[in-house]
Amino acid sequence: MQPVYTPHLGIRPDWLARHREEILDPQLPIIDPHHHLWDRLGSRYLMHEFLEDIGQGHDIRASVYIQCRSMLRAHGPREMAPLGEVAFACGVAAMSESGEYGDAQLCKGIVAGADLLLGDDVVPVLEAMLRIAGGRLRGMRNTVVWHADPQVRSSTLAPPAGLLGDPRFRRGVAALGRYGLALDAWIYHTQHDELYALARALPDVTVVIDHFGGPIGIGPYAGQRDAAFADWRRGLAQLARLPNVMIKLGGAGMPIFGIRFDHQETPPSSAQLADAWRPYAETCIELFGVKRCMFESNFAVDKGMFSYHVLWNAFKRLAAKATAAEKAALFHDTANVVYRLGLPPLAE
């Protein structure tokens, strides 16, 4: 049997345990707007594993679950299979709401995976998801990340080229707007123009760019960081002109970024992470402003590169010179507003 391809790093608990840090600014409330839960491919990251990570000392108030094709329904119409993931995330949210597992409100918002290529026919799927989500459904994400070079890959799925411009996909995205749902988009920097065209054509749909907007650092871009950065910045500057576009700062623990701390004998410190990511974080904040930027963990995908507490320490280092109001936006309030979580804002 052929091994299942996975572009993500394996988690090495013994290696991660080689570096621990004191928690910086432990009283700062945080919403983690991007995490996954799964039990597959010999890898388990479910509620208890996530609780162990968020219990390392940072004040995690709530989280947003992002689709990763977990617990899809095995029976029934294919287009309804993603309802299984919504039900799964809702179960975790219900457990969290019991208070038996701490104060953090896990899966307070859910970004699901209805197939937007269904076009207008996605509507019954959206309505079914809304019925079972218990008021938690906040958006959709499909696999759209694509590059012509086979070396550039960060998903187990390989979508076709030009998906963001497909008329059927656009009709599916337009349907999201009618239900007040956002589009989460994990794309590479080479797809910025495609996303710009989509977001400009559908101004009533909130578009959330994942993972720093996908600067590529491998394959044909290895050793070309300055040129890739310039192209990445140009594309983001164009996207930032659209008021319906937001961005998440994080996800750089994936090998696609080309920043390979996993090759070290010991895991990276938060200072190392902050130094490596500063140009990307500062550019995003400069272009979008803090009210359209939010830090994200992308766990457990990024756990192959660093620990959860080290990650949030790195973000706090990146925001060290920000005002209290700016920190409130980056760590809590932007996510609270964009995903309509209903938590009390930190800053008025």
At 274-297, the pLDDT tens digits run 999 999 999 999 999 999 999 999
Give me the half-sphere count of Cα atoms (radius 13 Å) on the Cβ side of residue 107. Answer: 31
pTM for this prediction: 0.96
pLDDT above 60 (res 5): no
> What are the structural domains of the chain?
13-338 (3.20.20.140)
DSSP 117-129: GGGGGGHHHHHHH
Please give the structure tokens belonging to residue 19: 């570096």
Per-chain mean pLDDT for the chain: 95
Task: Look at phi and psi of residue 180 and say left if phi exceeds 0, alpha if psi is from -120 to 50, else beta.
Answer: left
Average of per-residue pLDDT across 177-191: 97
pLDDT of residue 7: 72
Contacts of 230 (CB under 8 A, 6+ apart): none
Beta strand pairing call for 105-112 and 59-66: parallel
Q: Predicted confidence band at 4 (pLDDT cuts at 50, 70, 90)? A: very low
Q: Predicted confidence band at 159 (pLDDT cuts at 50, 70, 90)? A: confident
At 42-79, the pLDDT tens digits run 789 999 999 999 999 999 999 999 999 999 999 999 99
> Residue 314 class from Cβ within 10 Å (0-12 exposed, 13-18 middle, 19+ buried)?
buried
The percentage of residues in the chain with a pLDDT greater than 90, rounded to a whole number, is 90
